[in-house]
Structure 1
Amino acid sequence: MPTVELLGGKVQIYQRGNSRFWQARASVGGKQRQFSTKQEGQELAAKAAESWYFKLHGQAEAGVLNDRPTFRKAADQFLKEYGVITEGERSEKWTESHAIRLRVHLLPFFGALPLDKVTPGKVQEYRVHRMTNYAAPNPNSKSQHKLKPKSPARSTLHDEVVTLRMVLKTAIRHGWLEYLPDLTPPYRTQGKITHRPWFSREEYKQLYEAARAYAKEPFRSHLKWNAEQVYDFVLFMANTGLRPDEAFNLQH
């Protein structure tokens, strides 16, 4: 493990065998501290390590050095655990969506905050931030899509708060946070009410009679089995009241 000393030995950078990034360590405020430079090259790693050291040293001199676990630490732990624990139970796309929400929106806003500073008021500040800064370029986004001319949808903000809540629950499990703050939006208004459409008696009769006739005499003989399945499905759905997604998830 090669080690390089910087600033007269006050900071050291080194490489672990299992990581491509250089790590840094230094003693600040009477405590040994470590930091990943996120750099593969030695020169850039040295600059990142020195910047990190000067920042910590300045905080220590000002008496504001904070040793409490941050939101970023909890987010890293959440991402490390979630994909492994839920493997096979959640789609890869859903798991990735948590990482994207954190990288693009949540970490830039909450990342450096101590976990106990993620208060209901701070979460409301986040909502206001998202609703008022949607048109500004986001350097954390890798998307090539054009900026949207309207604020994020209610469902988008809801999903982001779901990810936020899961990170905070991870922090609680690890003893970094005592309790989950109230994340419900104040001044909450009722969302759009949608009603499931239904067939009238005459429409349903027309549907099942057409499906039955097609099951008996499909356009092509090799489609007969499929036509019979469609007819059975029409009867099953109409008489059970299941939603399509519920029906598709049935197993036997």
Structure 2
Amino acid sequence: MVTETHSLMDGKVHVYRRDGSRYWQCSTYMNGRNHRKSTKHESLAMAMDYAREWYMSVYVDSRRFQESGLTQNLLHKAAPHHHRIEEPAHYNNAPHSPYAPQTPRPYEPRPKKQAASGPTFAEAAEKFIAEYNIITQGERNEAWAQGHAMRINVHLIPFFGEMPVKQINAGLMQEYRVARNTNGYKGRIPSRSTLHHETVTMRLVLKTAHRYGWIDAVPDISAPYKTSGKVKHRAWFSPEEYKMLYEATRERAKNPSRERYRTVWEDLHDYVLFMANTGLRPDEAGRLEYRDVTIVTDQDSGERLLEIEVRGKRGVGYCKSMSGAILPFQRMQKRHGGKPTDKIFGKTPRDTMNKILDELNLKYDRDGNVRTSYSLRHTYICLRLMEGADIYQIAKNCRTSVEMIEQFYAAHLKNTLDASAINVRKPKRKPQKAGKNEDSPL
């Protein structure tokens, strides 16, 4: 006997608990039948969260069966005999009367799932994970390879796992996107870039199945809508904000709250100056060793600067810093007695960086973009563009492309617009007075 009942989703889902049971149950009515399941939760709040996610999964399964072309009659005929409820003889012949007892619709059970024919998606995913690192010969970042495995195990296999890989098409992939945007993961709706990464992983698995002859061709599973998202600029520090930041880190380095934290704040101050004067990525700075940096005098400008051998996601590259990076580098080497093979910064100082940004109210820019250590690289690029540096040389020095800089940096900087080239006016020609033509006989 049911002792307590709660309704969700505008009355479409019911959460209840029976006598003698410590777990909450959930139920819904869909496609002519009742669906029930135990939430396995004793807490009502957790049970209601589970019921919402369970309802959406039942809804997606229901839509999938409807789009596959199975009608309700076919589903009824395909059901086992002991699950059917025969219609009463008077159901179709009795005259309709508002006072007559209403006979409910017969119970139409859920059809049996078709047996999988051919290799499943889970088998193709297992093949892909096993061969990816070997085929790429270790050239792809280890974290990127682990990301593929995480996306497969956490998101793709629960949805496509036992499905024959031949049945996967663009429509099913779109149902997957709808389910992800509806249910999310642990209550969080995925971003556009997250869904893009999952689509990339899905395409790689399908290509693996195609190589083994399990499918004839790789379907087009790209997103049909919103193919071009809104271009947003990267979070950076304006000249005034950057000055606030390095003055605050300098003050902390001189007057720390406790003496034992002095070295930590001095390292952060030198890190901010070094990153804003070199444009390195945080992971590149984390791999940087003292032997990778040389103080030289540039032949073209005559300035003393750092020549840096960078190792990052683009392989080995080179960077020439601003002169402002020399002093922080020398202080780090003197403070820690750095040997040639020692790392200069090592782990990115996220905690201290976030603490100082929160204190200065600089953690977010006016558009809500989050500022991190990566924002120092963006600051370097933007300040160089504002001072009129050549965009091609900046791209080479930062180991990126001109297109990336034009899209994410140059688009929102007013200094990159040349008013003399924009406000061009052609000289107006004076109209000629009408006169007699000398060749005219008149």
The alignment's TM-score, normalised by the length of structure 1, stands at 0.51
Bigger helix share? 1
Residues 102 and 80 of structure 1, relative CA distance in 2, 3 Å threshold: farther
Match of 1:74 in 2: 124
Residues 199 and 79 of structure 1, relative CA distance in 2, 3 Å threshold: closer
Match of 1:140 in 2: none
For residues 191-233 of structure 1, the C-alpha deviation after alignment (integer angstroms, 9 at most, x for no partner) is 2433223323233223222322332343332222212111111
2:164 corresponds, among 81, 93, 112, to 112
Alignment gaps of 5+ in structure 2? 1-114, 290-442
Match of 1:96 in 2: 150
Alpha-carbon distance in structure 2 between the residues aligned to 1:214 and 1:152: 38
Residues 199 and 71 of structure 1, relative CA distance in 2, 3 Å threshold: closer
**Pair 1:224 & 2:262 matched:** yes
Residues 72 and 93 of structure 1, relative CA distance in 2, 3 Å threshold: closer
Q: List aligned pairs for 1:1-252, cutoff 5 A.
A: 69-81=119-131, 89-90=142-143, 94=147, 95-107=149-161, 111-114=163-166, 118=168, 122-128=169-175, 130-131=177-178, 153-177=191-215, 179-243=217-281, 245-247=282-284, 249-252=286-289
Residues 204 and 227 of structure 1, relative CA distance in 2, 3 Å threshold: same
Alpha-carbon distance in structure 1 between the residues aligned to 2:243 and 2:217: 56
Residues 175 and 247 of structure 1, relative CA distance in 2, 3 Å threshold: same
Quote how far apart the aligned CAs of 1:247 are.
4.8
Instruction: Verify the 8 A CA contact 1:74 1:168 in the aligned structure 2.
Output: yes
Percent identical among aligned pairs is 40
Alpha-carbon distance in structure 1 between the residues aligned to 2:133 and 2:222: 26
For the residue of structure 2 that corresponds to 1:90, the secondary structure is helix
For the residue of structure 2 that corresponds to 1:219, the secondary structure is coil
- Report which stretch shifted further, 151-160 or 187-196: 151-160
Provide the aligned length of Structure 1 versus Structure 2.
170
Residues 124 and 154 of structure 1, relative CA distance in 2, 3 Å threshold: farther
Instruction: Verify the 8 A CA contact 1:215 1:228 in the aligned structure 2.
Output: yes
Residues 201 and 90 of structure 1, relative CA distance in 2, 3 Å threshold: closer
Alignment gaps of 5+ in structure 1? 1-64, 137-142
Alpha-carbon distance in structure 2 between the residues aligned to 1:234 and 1:133: 39
Instruction: Verify the 8 A CA contact 1:161 1:183 in the aligned structure 2.
Output: yes
Structure 1 stretches of 4+ with a deviation exceeding 4 A read 65-70, 79-86, 132-136
Instruction: Verify the 8 A CA contact 2:116 2:164 in the aligned structure 1.
Output: no
For residues 32-68 of structure 1, the C-alpha deviation after alignment (integer angstroms, 9 at most, x for no partner) is xxxxxxxxxxxxxxxxxxxxxxxxxxxxxxxxx9975
The alignment's TM-score, normalised by the length of structure 2, stands at 0.32
